[in-house]
Structure 1
Amino acid sequence: MSLPSPRNASATPAAKTLRCIKIPMRYWILILSGVGLMISYADRSNMAVAIVAIGSEFDYNKAQQGIILASFFFGYIVTPILGGTLSDRYGGKAVLATGALVWTIFTLCTPLAAAMGLTWAVIARIGLGLGEGVAYPAIHSMIGTWIPPCERSKAVASVTAFAYLGSVIALPTSSALVVSSWGWRSIFWLFGTLGLLWSIVWQMFGASDPSSSTWISEKEARWISQQKRLDHIQEHDHEALGRPAATADQIDHDSGGQLDDENEQIRTISSNGEPILYKSLSSIPLEQTISRHSEGSDEPDLRTRSEESLGEGVGRPRDTRTRNLSTSPSPDTGNESSKSMNRWLIFRNRKRAGQLIQTNPPKAPVPWKQLLKRREVWAIIISQLCNSLGFFVMQSWLPTFYLDFYGVDVGKIGYFTVLPSAIQGAMGFFAGYLGDKVIQNWNWSPLMVRRVGQSVGSFGLGVFLLLAVKLARTATVAMILVTIGMAFNGFTMIGASVYQHDFCPEHAGFIFSLGNTAGSLPAIFGVYFVGFLLDGHGANRWDVIWTTVCAFYFAGATAFVVLSTHRRL
């Protein structure tokens, strides 16, 4: 039996509960996605504690332990691009659900695999990586469909903070279980069971987008749709509007034959009369758009467009000399057909010339060749590559660092590693809220917020990690310095992680998957190389390891600042 539609869902007990709590459905999607990501991070993090007991029981040296830890990334590198592509094309719900089922099965099988030998333990970790590889791209794809631009900083920061919360929960829990009578095997049984329970809840309440949700209210669905359409108009900057005008034939060619009769009618009128701006839905307010482009541009025809006339709906020019536009729908048009939604044209002179600003057909194939030519995409790829190496090396080897370098008891390792992750997650929530506020209230551009967030987060962690390695003489001092650095690193959650939603939200899942895949490459070799280095040289090499990690953090932030731009795909 299918779930009820939104109009009937209010009669069900579950829907009444959701309405009583008064949390919008888009936030429920974020919470559920975040919890799923939290479980996935717990499943990958718990091995950092369990590997100590596994190595002792099965007599694995540091190099072999490094192989087990690094093997996760051999699976993790395979599926992100596939997951992002499928999520952008067909929706993220099923992709995330499938990934969760895969990683949960391999989590539950890990104790058996470890008992069967090193090869089987490696296979189990590879399978875990295959399942978890689709999680981030699927979630970012759903953020692009569920969350309007005005809330994306805190949305991305929130789900990312949930991921760090997974480490916060997994590390002390694993430390307690590994020294208990249940033993290290219970770690994987516990978190595998949580994954199964989450999968059931996600299947009931998850949705790829508002249109496929049976729980969202009609009011919220309309608001999300309106905010996203408004962003398509407001985000076309002067560079885009300043491109050379095209002829009517060129416009038709550029549109790929997608101009319908209504577009054609508007285009014909523009050639016989005043220049107009056509938008597919007339209920979107345009005051800010017209004021922004007309006052900030030196092009006469742009000022003429906004000051002399603007046509709204199907062939209905309207005088806008006062720029005081009505936001009510045109009585002649009402609600237009879906085939003309998300297509905007701007006509800039009286010679039947204009510019096709955007066509956004639903579920369009990923233009991967075009994306790979954009410097903005490479800003994400390089920054993710550098940050992932540092993150995964710290996630995999920080417990061993405290154990070997400072002699911390294995039962207490989780407490030394949980505080940095907890502070990082909390700072991520704060950074997400702050990022949206400065964009809305302080007139910061999204790009400025992304650059500042990425720089503060990467350089802050790098500096304090260096201080911990060079100056700390006790485990407590090292933990405090690492925690301060991780607090700064929380600001990266409003940096490169959000940037794809600014310049290409339609393919956010795919673009994020490119960075995610690139980040897995150095993680594979970095995590393994640390084990190889320690096996022969022990604690003497930790300074080299952490200094290298810091260098990658610095390089990633610098590359992002240099390559990121205001341009939108």
Structure 2
Amino acid sequence: MLPKDVSAKNAGENAAKIESPRLGVRHLQSMLIFFGLCVVFMLRVNLSVAIVAMMDRNATNPDFPEYAWSEQTKSLLLSSFFWGYFSTQIPGGQLAQRFGGKVMLLFSVGISAFLALFTPFSAKLGDWQLMCALRFLQGFSQGVIYPSTHTILAKWAPPAERGVLATLCFSGSQFGTIVMLGVSGALAASKYGWPSIFYLSGCCGIIWSFVWLLWGADSPRQSKLITSQERNYIESALAEVSKCAIDETAAKLPTPWLRIFTSVPFWMLLIVNCSYNWGYWTFMTQIPTYMKSVLGKDIQSNALLSALPYTANLLLGLGFCAIAQVLLSAQVLSTNASRKIFNTIGMWIPMAAAIALGFVNADNADLAVILLTVAVGTNSATFLGAFVNHIDLSPNFAGTMMGITNCAANVMSIIAPLVVGVIVTDTTNSTQWRFVFMIMALYYFVGNLLFITFGSTKLQPWNQPVERHENQEHIKFRVVAGDQEHI
């Protein structure tokens, strides 16, 4: 425990006075969001796996027609989702702050699921043009997902459990991808054909929406399932370390845009998220092409190999989650140290793997698969680092901040493949690919270096722009000044 973590120590001692069950409704909320993100990514990647069957000219079943789309049309279809997704990131943070994360998640997943059910009919009715419009709307509706998740976690996760509960939530995205990759081949080959891929993901989304409507809650105070003991534990832990709006008035607070954009820790958070996205999406979108063209190993046509990086990401994420909980419970690490150590694992190990990939030759294709799996798998450590740091800086505006950083990060995920297209003019040229890997490694190195040097877990003074009076009836706890790091 670092000596300067005075507030962390006091917070832990005071929160410990109110005993809480090891498993409680806060964990139920995290699992609900886990499955919510699982469904969200099933809805996101369903076209990526279904389009292969949709364009299969060898299909013989007349009930499920194939489409003679060009590669350009295919690219438009696959990218249309992300244009819609990008456009609602920042508004999504404001909407989650204003109306609450629960209702925004409900509408986001519900609308996206309904559109998935309509996808096969849209292809038949309006060909690729209508499908592009539908995918854009799906992305548009999903833009509020991460801001809403952060808004909910800010009120449900005690400071000592933020990293763990956030990792449980975010791991759902990898699980959903694994599920979709695992079942899509069997569904497309079944008597129900490729439309069943969309029907399955859509139905899962509808079912989750009903469950979320019944059991989901914006905060402990709004939950009908939570015990008063657990609610008091969460609220006292939050109040000890921050001026957190435990009385649900955060929606009424004006967003301090200028102070957010002049905050150094916020800019470090934005930069590290952009660096992460550049590396992650370069790995996931370009490495399969590299391995096929340079190393002669086609992992995209192998379902097991395709799912391997996502599986490693899920399992290692849960493993890091367990390690972090043990370390924090034993007070071995402060929050500041924990965030930066795990973020370093999540960015500098993939950096080393990227450099190594640039020097792997065709005789070591299996080594390349291992390096890819390690790189994408260890990326999950960032869930315990920069991903949850938004809540450390400002619980009241975590959703808004996530919308901004995720918006900027998604720009990187669009630019990165374009840069690869400019550099790699010959996909069999290993020297050109090596340059791509060096750029990726540089992004990982610089982004994390800035985060560990200038990043912070201190509560920012603009978290509470409106002065509050302790004699107000709705203030339940005396809070401490937010100028010290916390656990």
The alpha carbon displacement at 1:159 in A equals 0.9
Q: Quote the residue 2:48 is aligned against.
A: 48
The equivalent position to 2:397 in structure 1, one of 507, 512, 537, is 507
- Paired amino acid for 2:150: H
Q: Which residue is equivalent to 1:382?
A: 271
Q: What is the aligned partner in structure 1 of residue 371 from structure 2? A: 481
Q: % of aligned pairs identical?
A: 26
Conserved 8 A contact 1:45-1:395: no
Query: Structure 2 CA distance, aligned partners of 1:101 and 1:520?
Result: 23
Structure 1 residue 385 displacement after superposition: 1.5
Moved over 6 A (4+): 531-534
2:82 alignment counterpart: 73
- Give the AA of the match of 2:89: P
Partner of 1:139: 149
CA distance in 1, matches of 2:380, 2:298: 26
Displacement after TM superposition at 1:122 (Å)? 2.4
1:92 aligns with 2:101: yes
The one-letter code matched in structure 2 to 1:128 is Q
Deviation at 1:479, TM superposition (A): 2.1
- Per-residue CA deviations over 1:345-403 (Å, capped at 9, x if unaligned) read xxxxxxxxxxxxxxx97742322221111011111111112212333344445555566
Tell me the secondary structure at the aligned position of residue 458 of structure 1.
Answer: helix
Tell me what 1:159 maps to.
169
Deviation at 1:35, TM superposition (A): 0.5
Q: Which residue of 2 aligns with 1:12?
A: none
Q: Residue type of the partner of 1:551?
A: L
Greater displacement, 506-515 / 92-101: 506-515
Superposition map of 1:180-199 within 5 A: 180-199=190-209
The answer as to whether partners of 1:77 and 1:133 remain within 8 angstroms in 2 is yes
For residues 22 and 158 of structure 1, do their structure 2 counterparts lie closer, same or farther at Cα, with a shift above 3 Å needed? closer
Change (3 A) 1:73 1:544: farther
Asked if 1 retains the 8 angstrom alpha-carbon contact of 2:283 and 2:372, the reply is no
SS of residue in 2 equivalent to 1:162? helix
SS at match of 1:176: helix
Q: 1:564 aligns with which of 431, 455, 464?
A: 455
Deviation at 1:131, TM superposition (A): 1.8
Distance in 2 (alpha carbons) for counterparts of 1:544 and 1:122: 34
Question: Does the Cα contact within 8 Å between 1:70 and 1:527 map onto a contact in 2?
Answer: no
Equivalent-residue separation in structure 2 for 1:422 and 1:454 (angstroms): 19
Partner of 1:462: 351
Distance 2:116 2:423 in 1: 28
1:89 Cα deviation from its structure 2 partner = 3.0
Deviation at 1:430, TM superposition (A): 2.2
Query: Structure 1 residues 556-565 or 147-156, which shifts more?
Result: 556-565
Residues 105-158 of structure 1 deviation map (CA, whole Å, 9 limit, x = unaligned): 232233344453333332222222112211111111101011110110101111
Q: Does the 8 A contact of 2:317 with 2:378 survive in 1?
A: no
Deviations 1:233-289 (A, max 9, x none): 8x9xxxxxxxxxxxxxxxxxxxxxxxxxxxxxxxxxxxxxxxxxxxxxxxxxxxxxx
CA distance in 2, matches of 1:225, 1:515: 27
Measured after TM superposition, the shift of residue 96 of structure 1 is: 0.5
Offset, 1:204: 0.9
1:377 & 1:510 partners in 2: Cα distance? 12
Note the C-alpha offset of 1:522: 2.0
Q: 1:148 maps to what in 2?
A: 158
TM-superposition CA deviations, 1:55-87 (whole Å, max 9, x none): 555344444433332222211112122222222
How many pairs does the alignment contain? 425
CA change 1:216–1:379 in 2 (3 A) is same
**Would you say the 8 A contact 2:97–2:251 is kept in 1?**
no
CA displacement at 1:194 relative to structure 2: 0.8
Equivalent position amino acid for 2:369 in 1: M
1:435 and 1:159, CA in 2 relative to 1: closer, same or farther beyond 3 A? same
Deviation at 1:51, TM superposition (A): 3.7
Farther-moved stretch of structure 1 (413-422 vs 92-101)? 413-422
Q: Are the counterparts in 1 of residues 299 and 306 from structure 2 also a CA contact under 8 Å?
A: no
How many angstroms apart in 1 are the aligned matches of 2:228 and 2:309? 41
Gaps of 5+ in 2: 1-20, 57-65, 461-487
TM normalised by structure 2 equals 0.78
User: What does 1:98-177 correspond to in 2, within 5 Å?
Assistant: 98-115=107-124, 116-177=126-187
Where in structure 1 are there 5+ consecutive unaligned residues?
1-20, 236-337, 343-359
With over 3 angstroms needed to count, the CA separation of the structure-2 counterparts of 1:97 and 1:524, relative to structure 1, is: same
Aligned AA for 1:555? Answer: V
CA distance in 2, matches of 1:389, 1:205: 36
In 2: Cα distance, 1:368 partner to 1:517 partner:
16
Query: Which structure would you say has the larger RCO, counting Cα contacts within 8 Å and 6 or more residues apart?
Result: 2
CA RMSD of aligned residues (A): 3.0
Partners of 1:114 and 1:393 lie apart in 2 by 30
Q: In the alignment, what sits opposite 1:517?
A: 407
TM-score by length of 1: 0.68
Q: What is the 5 A alignment of 1:94-493?
A: 94-115=103-124, 116-232=126-242, 363-396=252-285, 406=296, 408=298, 412-471=301-360, 473=362, 476-493=366-383
The match for 2:469 is none
Report deviation, 1:511: 1.1
Is structure 2 residue 26 aligned with structure 1 residue 26?
A: yes
The alpha-carbon distance between structure 1 residues 408 and 443, as it changes in their structure 2 partners (threshold 3 A), is closer
